[in-house]
Amino acid sequence: MPYVITNKCLGERYAACVDVCPVECIHPGDYQGQEFMIIDPEVCIDCGACLPECPIGAIVDSVDADPEYAKINADLTPSFKDNPPAPLRAPTDPPRRPENKLTS
């Protein structure tokens, strides 16, 4: 099962996950007027490299962990996959949304 980027990424987008992805399946874009990233479920190889890279824990390891955002990732893939790369945001940069906390 592919990994999924959840609503915790909405408005945050650290993009550290992109640098470690061996198959380049993580893409940036705007969702609901905010910065967001998605994982292309057709390309993800379930390697887990991205999981520890997200400083706010916005990535889950299966579709079952967040079915709603799994569908959103899949639905947004066609419109996100040709976008230019997102700029890398420092993992120590505090989250913009108060409900998000740094995990490391």
Domain membership flag for residue 62: yes
Q: Model confidence over 81-93: pLDDT tens digits?
A: 999 999 999 999 9
Domain membership flag for residue 27: yes
Domain membership flag for residue 67: yes
Least Cα distance to 77 among 27, 33, 24, 20 occurs for 27
CATH code for the domain in which residue 22 is found:
3.30.70.20
Q: Which residues span the domain enclosing 11?
A: 4-80
Q: Model confidence over 55-88: pLDDT tens digits?
A: 999 999 999 999 999 999 999 999 999 999 999 9
Q: What's the CA gap between 36 and 13, in Å, rounded?
A: 6
Q: What's the CA gap between 37 and 18, in Å, rounded?
A: 9
* Count of structural domains, the chain: 1
**pTM for the model:** 0.95
* Reported confidence tier of residue 104, pLDDT bands at 50, 70, 90: low
